[in-house]
Chain A
Amino acid sequence: MNIHSILFENTEDGITKETLEAPVFFADLNLDQIVDAVTAGRQEYNLKPLFYTSLHDINVIRYRQEIFRDLENEILFEHVKSFAQKMRAMREHLAQTDKLYYKYQKERWFLEAVGIYCDAVNGLAHDLTPVDLKSRGFLAFREYVASYAESNRFVSLLAETKKLIADLAAAKYCLHIKGNRIQVRHDESETDYSAEVEKTFEKFKQGAVKDYKIAFSTRPDMNHVEAKILDFVAQLHPDLFSNLDDYCAKNGSYLDGTVCVFDREIQFYIAYLEYLAIFKRAGLEVCYPQISNTCKEVYDHEGFDLALAYKLIRENSSVVCNDFYLKGKERIIVVSGPNQGGKTTFARTFGQLHYLACIGCPVPGTEAQLFLFDRLFTHFEKEEDIQNLRGKLQDDLVRIHQILSWSTSNGIVIINEIFTSTTLQDAIFLCKKVMETIMDQDLLCVCVTFIDELASLSEKTVSMVSTVVPENPALRTYKIVRRPADGLSYAISIAEKYRLTYDRLKERIRP
């Protein structure tokens, strides 16, 4: 079997253009923060486009899930990481070659780069052999890398590189510096004088003392004196250095294309798994969702907003998980309840889960079934602007109209507080209209709203509310639960807390 990509099973898919710009809903769902965190420190791989490119083929999603599962084997994971580290070191060496001026320096860095590359390939081929692999992607790649490592081209490259490195390491020389004159000659193994001096004074040794050794700059380049010495050392070892010249001339294009592509693409998995490890360490769970492009009965248990959880864990705060499910004809989750109670977070979680699942990634939760959408739309309330009242309402309507006219029945729509900039009556009317269209199109939808009426529009809607601690309504639980919208009791308790109930307010008002 031939392999070209660890991200796509068929070559044709691999050629699918990578999306270079983040999808528009990324900012609303905080997916931009997630992808930033996932790809941090891996700029050289240019991974973001891989996260921007959505998939529409369940088979590719499974292909990726298999690879993720294989990589949960820590041994394999570490092997791949060590391969990646070597490839990174190799690139650094090549970059260094370009920066240097003197020929023998450039050549030595190049030689080391090839040495590291050989080691990386060999190590990977060797490491993959005993691993119990299940994914189609890894099985195919293992086969490829094994045959590459045994190819004549690679074997002779390796032998030549090793010998040259060993010969150079064995080359010794001696410097005699007196005044401003310097002699370069063969090393004649005179005794190490520092050791002798040290030994003489050994009897005075007491405890630990300060280290007076000076750390010299370890800059990779050379000054002209060093370069001159190196030229003389080359003259002391003429055969060795002419071998080095030949080697560099011959092996300019030593890299294998498939290995290089693997090196980049596998980072999609490594980066994401390392990101998830943060949550696992905090005791949160992730799972491989079931994906369907027909069944709209979706659910997730113990889900959470990755972007928010990432922040909370860094602040050592605890993360609240939430469940949701849609059964039978249910399509729309209407979320209401007190502000700052986690409603927006809940809506984002729903969107994040679907997006990440549909690029083949594991998602927060203990168990999940999600829907393979064709398009995802979000409409999030921006800063309220009273000056521009009419304009904003108009914008809202235009935008929601666009969403609904573009969407097919396989879309997902996430709406967060729309029509807040008009009268309640207007808002109820408009929302109902919008909801009717959504229901007609049979879209999956999460709608965060302050309008309780929306929660019980039809059999397609489900009401969920953010909750507070009963004894202290000012404390949020950040739990969103399936329950009829009951804004009233909450409103009373808040009023109580602020001593604004009927009796209290009467008491407070002075005669």
Chain B
Amino acid sequence: MKAFLMYRDSDFDLQRKLPSHEQELIQDLELNTLFNAMAFGDKFLLEVVRKAVLSGFENDPDTIVYRQDILKDCLKNSSVVREIYDIAVDSIEKERKNYLGIFSKYPGSILYRSIDVMQMFVGMLKKLKNIADRHADQFESQGFTAFFAMLKNELGEEYYACVQNHLSELKFRDGVLISAELDRGNKGIHYTLRKHRFEKESWLKRLFAKKPPVYAFSINERDESGARALSELKDMGINNVANALAQSADHILSFFTLLRTELAFYVGCLNLHGQLAQLGEPMSFPLAMAPVERRHSFKELYDACLALTMGKKIVGNDMHADDKDLAVITGANQGGKTVFLRSIGLSQLMMQCGMFVPAESFSSNICNGLFTHYKREEDAAMKSGKLDEELSRMSDIADKITSNSMVLFNESFAATNEREGSEIARQIICALVEKRIKVFYVTHLYEFAHDIYDKKTGNAIFLRAERQTDGGRTFKIIEGEPLQTSYGEDLYYEIFETDHAIH
């Protein structure tokens, strides 16, 4: 029995390895804000959503749609979903409380403990089955339909009866029956637990049948070593069945654990959805295209992390960058370029793990990996120069990146003069684009930006932070030719609060 709520036919592995540049992504895209909103203070949810979001690059379009459908069901039936989640959590916690005996050296106590745990699990499974009976028809997604059907098929009344029968039989009220053979030194081996055969012949027949020989003896009450020997024999007989039951309990435990883990992702999504809806922000299910395609179009895309942090609805952006490999973003300082870049990365991650995205509409091609290359603050401990450090990080990315990935550059390679920086950027970016890597580049390297613009290759889009004629900022990113100045002057004046004329 498997939940299969994250993949059509495999389990969600919480132990999976995340991309080695996980920390950079978290830092550059402010992912902790997203994760915390989803976790809502629950450590386990935090762990799951972190793994689910950061491992999204492995998902194919089918998996994304599979999850989107399940998530739609969850949004419709959030209380039922949370109820199932609570049953899983409850089962796991109750099992944990009963851990005594699991480390025992005696099959007897392992068996005793396992019967107890099994009894509890069977009750929990029954609860699940009841939910399936009551609510299954409210769900439409393939994932949930299959899940409920499985509960109904596997956990019928007959099966419960059979399980109960075993659980009471295993208390051995009629004693333990064990077969054995002679091993080395004529010691017993292959101790095998046997089921009692209930005689069907009539008592009369039994009376006259030739009786097979039976030899018996009793251990004296004061013979402690004899009693120990006897119980060891018994233990050898029930060793296998104790193991089988303990393992079955473990299997059911891992069923609940997986169910909990996989649902945790959707519970996290529900949490986030609630918070963004409260801010009045739009959300939509994105259209994920194959990695080889070049799509990137959206309406009212916003940075969910910024909205969550500010606690209010923020400005969204539109873009139509289908068939583009490169987006160069220039323009005013503090005009929303970094926020825009973050919203690009964030929406891509959310789409690829099967979530809704913070936009009115959104479509994009899947990418095989997402990398960020941001300007870093100077590190006091850093011995090498800043450009050195930047290029070394770029080299790390080059070690890992594959085609059909995406890189977000934020003011990279500006640690030298503009001409050199532009030349480095030009060489790096051209190489990436030719290797089919999608690039978003926020930059003040005008020479670089203009050089690309002049080439008019057709696969690049140029965006800039909007600046109103009075120098005020709208935080809108609009399409437009790179401009020579980044309006640092504006900023200067704003900070120094002087009246000024607009040039």
Contact B216 A203 (CB under 8 A): no
CA distance A112 to B186 in the complex (A): 11
Say yes or no: B163 contacts A200, CB within 8 Å. Answer: yes
Per-residue CB proximity of A206-250 to B under 8 Å, as 1/0?
Answer: 110111111010001111111011101101100000000000000
Complex formed: what's the CA distance from A112 to B193 in Å? 28
Asked whether, in the complex, the Cβ of B185 is within 8 Å of the Cβ of A201, the reply is no
Interface string of B193-224 (1 = CB under 8 A from A): 11111000000000000001111111101000
Known: A174-B194, A210-B250, A229-B188. Is A236-B215 also a contact (CB below 8 A)? yes
How close is B119's CB to chain A, nearest CB, in angstroms? 13
**Quick one: which of B166, B182, B213, B252 contacts A171, CB cutoff 8 A?**
B182
Question: What's the nearest-Cβ distance from chain B to residue A186, in Å?
Answer: 5
A190 contacts the other chain (CB 8 A): yes
Residues of A within 8 A of B214 (CB): 183-185
In the complex, residue of chain A having the shortest beta-carbon distance to the beta carbon of B110: A212
Q: Which residues of A contact B251 (CB under 8 A)?
A: 201, 204-206, 209
Contact A232 B215 (CB under 8 A): yes
Taking a contact as CB atoms under 8 Å apart, the answer to whether A225 and B181 are in contact is no
CB of A197 within 8 A of CB of B244, answer yes
- Least Cβ distance of A212 to chain B in Å? 4
Segment at the A interface, from B29-37, B229-237, B383-391, B451-459: B229-237
Checking B179, B233, B240 against A225 with a beta-carbon cut-off of 8 angstroms, the contacting residue is B233
Say yes or no: A182 contacts B218, CB within 8 Å: yes
- Residues from 75 to 106 in A contacting B, C-beta threshold 8 Å: 96, 100, 104-105
For A230, what are the chain B residues with a Cβ–Cβ distance below 8 Å? Answer: 186
- B180 near A186 (CB under 8 angstroms)? no
Q: Is the CB of B106 within 8 A of A172?
A: no
Q: B497 CB to closest chain A CB, in angstroms?
A: 65
Nearest CB in chain B: distance from A237 CB, A:
9
- B258: which A residues are within 8 A, CB to CB? 206
A104 to B185 Cα, complex, angstroms: 8
CB of A62 closer than 8 Å to a CB of B = no
Q: In the complex, what residue of chain A is closest to B125 when comparing beta carbons?
A: A204
Q: Is A178 an interface residue (CB 8 A)?
A: yes
**Closest chain A CB from B220 CB (angstroms):** 8
Across the interface, which residues of A come within 8 angstroms of B245, CB to CB? 197, 201
Most chain A beta carbons < 10 A, residue from B185, B216, B241, B254: B185
Interface pair A197/B170, CB less than 8 Å apart:
yes
* Interface contact A201-B248, CB-CB below 8 Å: yes
**Chain B residue nearest to A237 in the complex (CB):** B182
Q: State the Cβ distance, A159 to closest chain B Cβ, in Å.
A: 21
Q: Does A198 belong to the interface (CB within 8 Å)?
A: yes
Interface string of A107-127 (1 = CB under 8 A from B): 111001000000000000000
Q: How far is the CA of A190 from the CA of B176 in the complex (A)?
A: 13
Q: Is the Cβ of A177 less than 8 Å from the Cβ of B235?
A: no
Please give, as numbers and ranges, the residues of chain A lying within 8 Å of B379 by CB-CB distance: none
1/0 per residue, CB under 8 A from B, across A33-68: the answer is: 000000000000000000000000000000000000
Please determine whether B239 and A108 come into contact, CB atoms closer than 8 angstroms.
no
Tell me, yes or no, whether A169 is within 8 Å of chain B by CB: yes
Is the CB of A152 closer than 8 A to any CB of chain B?
A: no
Taking a contact as CB atoms under 8 Å apart, the answer to whether B252 and A169 are in contact is no
Residues of B within 8 A of A186 (CB): 212-213
Q: Tell which of A107, A186, A205, A228 has the most Cβ of chain B within 10 Å.
A: A205
Nearest CB on A from B167, distance (A): 10
Are B180 and A192 in contact, CB atoms less than 8 angstroms apart? no
Interface presence of B354 (CB below 8 A): no
**Using Cβ atoms and an 8 Å threshold, which residues of chain A touch B181?**
169, 171-173
- Judge whether A384 is part of the interface by a CB distance below 8 angstroms: no
Bound form: Cα–Cα A425–B352 in Å: 92
B195 and A105 contact, CB distance less than 8 A? no
- Tell me if B225 counts as interface (CB < 8 A to partner A): yes
Contact A177 B241 (CB under 8 A): no
Q: Which residues between 358 and 387 of chain A lie within 8 Å of chain B, taking CB atoms?
A: none
Nearest CB of A to B472, in Å: 59
Q: How large, as a class, is the contact surface on chain A?
A: 35 or more
- Complex Cα spacing A194 to B169, Å: 12
B134 at the interface (CB under 8 A from A): no
The yes or no answer to A489 lying at the interface (CB within 8 A) is no
Do the beta carbons of B243 and A211 come within 8 Å of each other?
yes
Task: Say yes or no: A181-B195 contact (C-beta < 8 A), given A207-B254, A212-B243.
Answer: no
Residues of the B chain whose Cβ atoms lie less than 8 Å from the Cβ of A187:
179
* Neighbouring A residues of B221 by C-beta, 8 Å: 180
Residues from chain A with Cβ under 8 Å of B170 in the complex: 197
A490 and B456 CA atoms in complex are apart in Å by 76
A179 at the interface (CB under 8 A from B): yes
Q: Do residues B212 and A185 form an inter-chain contact, with CB atoms below 8 A? A: yes
Cβ 8 A contact of B194, one of A96, A100, A190, A224: A190
Q: Give which listed residue, B176, B187, B234, B254, contacts A220 with CB less than 8 A.
A: B187
Contacts of B188 in A (CB 8 A): 226, 229
B1 adjacent to A214 (CB under 8 Å): no
Question: How far is A100 from B163 in the complex, measured between Cα atoms in Å?
Answer: 45
A309 shortest CB reach to chain B, Å: 43
Chain A contacts for B16, CB-based, 8 A: none
**Residues of the A chain whose Cβ atoms lie less than 8 Å from the Cβ of B177:** 174-176, 190
Complex Cα spacing A190 to B197, Å? 7
CB of A194 to closest CB in B, whole Å: 4
Instruction: Please name all residues of chain B whose beta carbon is closer than 8 Å to the beta carbon of A184 when the two chains form the complex.
Output: 214-216
Residues of A within 8 A of B178 (CB): 174-177
Q: Known: A174-B178, A177-B176. Is A193-B247 also a contact (CB below 8 A)?
A: no
Cross-chain contact A220 with B184 (CB below 8 angstroms): yes
Residues of A within 8 A of B2 (CB): 206
Closest residue of chain B to A106 (Cβ to Cβ) is: B185
B348 to chain A, nearest CB (A): 32
Using known A-B contacts A214-B235, A220-B184, determine if residue A194 contacts B216 with beta carbons closer than 8 Å: no
Q: Which chain A residues border B216 with CB–CB below 8 Å?
A: 181-184
> CB within 8 Å of A: which of B70-122?
105-107, 110
Pairwise interchain contact B194-A182, C-beta atoms closer than 8 A:
no
Q: Is B162 an interface residue (CB 8 A)?
A: yes
User: Is B488 located at the chain interface by the 8 A CB criterion?
Assistant: no
Min CB gap A277→B, angstroms: 33
What does the 1/0 interface line of B387-425 toward A look like (CB < 8 Å)? 000000000000000000000000000000000000000
Whether, in the assembled complex, B154 has its beta carbon less than 8 Å from a beta carbon of chain A, the answer is: yes
With a cutoff of 8 Å between Cβ atoms, the chain B residues found around residue A388 in the complex are: none
**Is residue A188 contacting chain B, with contact meaning CB distance below 8 A?**
yes
Please tell me if A168 contacts chain B, counting CB pairs below 8 Å: yes
A213 cross-chain contacts in B, Cβ below 8 A: 107, 239-240, 243
A172, A185, A229: the one within 8 Å of B213 (CB): A185
B175 part of interface (Cβ distance < 8 Å)? yes
- CB neighbours (8 Å) of A214 from chain B are 105-107, 110, 235, 239
B185 touches A168 (CB 8 A): no
Does B311 lie at the interface of the complex (its beta carbon under 8 Å from any beta carbon of A)? no
Q: Is B333 interfacial (CB-CB < 8 Å)?
A: no
Report B-chain residues with C-beta under 8 Å of the C-beta of A96: 185
Q: List 21 A-B contacts (CB under 8 A).
A: A100-B185, A105-B186, A175-B180, A183-B216, A185-B215, A186-B213, A187-B179, A189-B179, A190-B195, A191-B194, A193-B193, A203-B154, A204-B251, A204-B252, A212-B242, A214-B105, A224-B229, A225-B219, A225-B226, A225-B230, A226-B188
Residues of B bordering A, CB below 8 Å: 1-2, 11, 105-107, 110, 154, 162-163, 166, 169-170, 174-182, 184-188, 192-197, 212-219, 221, 225-227, 229-230, 232-237, 239-248, 250-252, 254-255, 258
Shortest beta-carbon contacts, A-B, top 10:
A178-B175, A201-B248, A190-B194, A225-B229, A194-B240, A232-B215, A204-B251, A212-B246, A194-B241, A198-B244
- Interface residues of A, Cβ cutoff 8 Å to B: 96, 100, 104-105, 107-109, 112, 168-169, 171-194, 196-198, 200-201, 203-207, 209-214, 216, 220-226, 228-230, 232-233, 235-236
17 A-B pairs besides A108-B186, A172-B181, A236-B215 with CB distance below 8 A are A168-B182, A171-B181, A173-B181, A175-B237, A177-B175, A178-B174, A178-B176, A181-B216, A182-B217, A182-B219, A186-B212, A201-B244, A201-B252, A212-B242, A214-B235, A223-B229, A235-B215
